Structure 1
Amino acid sequence: MAKKAKNFKKSKTGLYVSLASTAFGALGVAKQAKMARQDDDMLRLVDAAVSAAAIVTGLAILYRELKRLGDDDVLLG
C-alpha cells in the first residue's frame, strides 16, 4: 500500500490531481491580487505577482511531465 502511495505522484492520476490543485491555488492568488489593488497595497500586489509566476511555472512543469508520460504510451502517439 505504501509503495502505491509513493508512486502516485508519478502516475497520470497524480499529475491530474497536482494540476487541479495548482490551478485551484490560482484562485487564491487572484483574490489576493484583487484585494491588494483595492487596498492599494503594493507589497501584497508584488507578492501576488510572484505567486502567480510560481503557479504558471508549476503548471508548465506538470504539463511537461504529463506529456512525458503520454510519450511512453503507444496508443497516444
Structure 2
Amino acid sequence: MSKLTKAKDFKKSKSGTYLSIAGTAFGAIGVAKRLKKARAEKDTLVLIDATVSAVAIVTGLAILYRELKRLGDDDVLLG
C-alpha cells in the first residue's frame, strides 16, 4: 500500500476525523480573537469577515460530526 493511499485512508478514519475536528476547533480560536479585536476597533468589515469565518467553522464542525457518527454506525461490532 502506497503512502498516498494510507494518507487517504487515515483521513476517512475515526482518528483522522478527530484530528480534523481538533484542527477546525483550533482555527476557531483565531476567529474569536479577530471578532474581539474587530468589535473593540469597531471595524465593520473585519467583523463581517470574522463572522462569515465563524459560520464556516460551525458548518465544518457539523459536517465532521456527521461523518464521525457515520463512521460509528458502520462499526461491525456495534450491530
- Scaled by the length of structure 1, the TM-score of the pair is 0.93
1:8 CA drift (Å): 1.2
The AA in structure 2 aligned to 1:37 is: R
RMSD across aligned positions (CA)? 1.1
Aligned in 2, Cα 1:25/1:39: closer, same or farther, shift over 3 Å?
same
Specify the alignment match of 1:12 in structure 2.
Answer: 14
Within the candidate set 12, 24, 40, 2:26 is matched to 24
Identity %: 73
**Hey, what's the Cα distance between the residues in 1 that align with 2:18 and 2:42?**
36
Specify the alignment match of 1:66 in structure 2.
Answer: 68
1:7 match: secondary structure? helix
Aligned in 2, Cα 1:76/1:49: closer, same or farther, shift over 3 Å?
farther
**Hey, what's the Cα distance between the residues in 1 that align with 2:41 and 2:14?**
41
Moved over 4 A (4+): none
- Scaled by the length of structure 2, the TM-score of the pair is 0.91
Alignment size in residue pairs:
77
| Unaligned runs of at least 5 residues, structure 1 | none
Q: Report which stretch shifted further, 2-11 or 62-71.
A: 2-11
| Unaligned runs of at least 5 residues, structure 2 | none
